[in-house]
């Protein structure tokens, strides 16, 4: 991303192109200088990589917007904030004008942002504690936490300290959803070019529940409660570097195929390193699926400033009572963590019951009831 602004003039017809830290996304106020691609005093050309910033969501490369001599006021591992001036490029005025005219044709590269999952880092060396060799030797290794893990740890503790988080549970019979998927699996792929998964059903059920209980689509801003009147749902994706949450926008306006396509695309690019910061920003509600890893039950942690997050879990056949008969059904536990400052217990329970009804009878999603 080219985050350089046009400058005041220096002596000798030179231009001072200021290097600033860009906005890094909602709830992200700081970044760490992860790499320096050039040294201060080096000559650079327009679009050369200058440095890389690391946050808990994504890595962001800053590019030169002009040719000249770069002067950096930061070092490796320094912490910087949005809009902070971190240096400048001493550029020739004529060259700067030419590069400004060419700038639109380089926009794709200018906006390049790569995700944490794409960045390959050598693991910190393991330091083994020397111990005398015994028949029943007990070994330990020590490794410094990565910067991203430190940031994630800090944010998780911060959520616990600054919200009144509570979790409520329910379970859903997945028979109807699994039946629809089995019946239309092949035709869905043929018509839409994407697999019909479970997530689109859960996204649509969430939208229906958020419409009925808007407190879960709200957030606190000072002394105000702000209600969103749009439905942007974050989908948690696991990567080698940690969890990221790309956002599917306007889910109320998307059909099942478009939701599945967006989620598949996010998952692929999230793991290979192609997500932009904008795709990770915002979101009014989050869904996380621990079931893909075998989790039977968990309590998901809020993604601030959101007031709700839904945890999906492993589908497991269990005996349940239906019409006074014990039958075997594919069941899933659902967990809703919510901010009790905005949402009371009755609303949270009703939200999950609404989702349960939509998933056990998907025709409700078509009839909006």
- Per residue of the chain (369 residues), what is the pLDDT tens digit? 555 555 555 556 678 889 998 877 666 678 888 888 899 889 999 888 899 888 766 677 888 888 999 999 998 888 898 889 999 999 875 655 555 555 444 444 344 444 544 444 445 555 555 555 565 688 999 998 877 778 778 888 989 889 999 999 999 999 999 999 999 999 999 999 999 999 999 999 999 999 999 999 999 999 999 999 999 999 998 877 677 899 999 999 999 999 999 999 998 888 877 888 889 888 999 999 999 999 999 999 999 899 999 999 999 999 999 999 999 999 999 999 999 999 999 999 999 999 999 999 999 988 877
Q: What is the pTM of this model?
A: 0.70
Please give the Cα distance from 12 to 298 (Å, whole number).
65
For residue 184, being part of any structural domain is answered with yes
Q: How many CB atoms lie within 10 A of CB 267?
A: 17
173 is known as an active-site residue: no
**Is 103 in the same domain as 156?**
no
Per DSSP, the residues of 317-342 read EEEEEETTEEEEEEEEEEEEEEETTT
CATH of the domain at 197: 3.30.559.10
Q: Is residue 69 part of a domain?
A: yes
- 63 and 164 together in one domain: no
Q: Report the half-sphere exposure of 26 (CA within 13 A, side-chain side).
A: 17
Which of these three, 111, 136, 164, is where a domain ends?
111
- Please tell me whether residues 259 and 343 are part of one structural domain: yes
Q: Are residues 185 and 317 in the same domain?
A: yes
Whether residue 350 lies inside any domain: the answer is: yes
Residues 23 and 75 in one domain: yes
| 344 belongs to the catalytic site | yes
Exactly one of 344, 354, 361, 368 is catalytic; which is it?
344
Do 162 and 107 reside in the same domain of the chain? no
Of 111, 133, 156, which closes a domain? 111
* Number of domains composing the chain: 2
Q: Are strands 68-72 and 85-92 parallel, antiparallel or unpaired?
A: antiparallel
Residues 64 and 155 grouped into a single domain:
no
Is 234 within the bounds of a domain? Answer: yes
CA distance 64 to 68: 9
- Which among 98, 89, 83 is positioned nearest to 53, based on CA atoms? 83
CA dihedral 294, 299, 300, 304 (to 10 degrees): 180
Instruction: Say whether both 78 and 226 belong to one domain.
Output: no
How far is 193 from 189, CA to CA, in rounded Å?
A: 5
Same domain, 313 and 192: yes
198 and 329 in a single domain? The answer is yes
In a domain, 46, yes or no: yes
Owning domain of residue 287: 148-367
pLDDT at res. 368: 78
DSSP letters spanning 229-251: SS--EEE-EEETTEEE--EE--G
**Catalytic residue selected from 154, 265, 340, 368:** 340
Classify residue 129 as left (phi > 0), alpha (psi -120 to 50) or beta.
beta
- Beta bridge partners, 218, equal 227
Residue 156 lies in a domain: yes
Cβ neighbours of 334 (radius 10 Å) = 21
Asked whether the beta carbons of 356 and 339 are under 8 A apart, the reply is no
Do residues 94 and 169 share a domain?
Answer: no
Q: Is 139 part of a structural domain of the chain? A: no
Q: Is residue 137 part of a domain?
A: no
Domain boundary among 66, 93, 111: 111
CATH code of the domain containing 14: 2.40.50.100
């Amino acid at each position: 991303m080219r985050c350089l602004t046009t400058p005041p003039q220096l002596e000798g017809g030179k231009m001072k192109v200021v290097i600033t830290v860009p906005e890094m996304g909602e709830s992200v106020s700081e970044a760490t200088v992860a790499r320096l691609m050039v040294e201060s005093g080096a000559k650079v050309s327009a679009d050369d990589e200058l440095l890389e910033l690391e946050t808990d969501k994504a890595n962001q490369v800053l590019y030169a917007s002009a040719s000249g001599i770069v002067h950096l006021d930061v070092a490796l591992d320094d912490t910087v904030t949005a809009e902070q001036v971190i240096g400048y490029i001493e550029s020739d005025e004529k060259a700067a004008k030419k590069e400004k005219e060419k700038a639109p044709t380089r926009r794709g590269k200018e906006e390049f942002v790569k995700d944490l999952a794409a960045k390959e880092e050598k693991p910190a060396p393991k330091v083994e504690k020397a111990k005398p060799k015994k028949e029943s030797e007990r070994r330990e290794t020590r490794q410094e936490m990565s910067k991203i893990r430190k940031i994630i740890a800090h944010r998780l503790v911060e959520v616990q300290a600054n919200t009144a988080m509570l979790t409520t549970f329910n379970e859903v019979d997945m028979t109807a959803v699994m039946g629809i998927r089995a019946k239309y699996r092949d035709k869905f792929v043929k018509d839409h070019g994407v697999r019909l998964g479970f997530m689109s059903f859960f996204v649509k059920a969430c939208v229906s529940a958020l419409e009925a209980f808007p407190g879960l689509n709200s957030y606190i801003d000072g002394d105000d409660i702000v209600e969103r009147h749009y439905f942007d749902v974050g989908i948690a994706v696991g990567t080698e570097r940690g969890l990221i949450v790309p956002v599917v926008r306007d889910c109320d306006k998307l059909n099942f195929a478009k939701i599945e396509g967006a989620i598949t695309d996010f998952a692929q690019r999230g793991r290979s390193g192609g997500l932009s910061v904008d795709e990770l920003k915002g979101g009014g509600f989050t869904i996380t699926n621990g079931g893909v890893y075998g989790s039977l039950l968990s309590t998901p942690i809020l993604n601030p400033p959101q007031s709700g997050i839904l945890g999906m879990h492993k589908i497991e056949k269990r005996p349940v009572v239906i019409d006074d008969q014990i039958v075997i059904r594919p069941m899933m536990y659902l967990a809703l963590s919510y901010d009790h400052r905005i949402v009371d217990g009755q609303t949270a329970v009703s939200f999950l019951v609404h989702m349960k009804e939509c998933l056990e009878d998907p025709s409700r999603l078509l009839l909006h009831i």
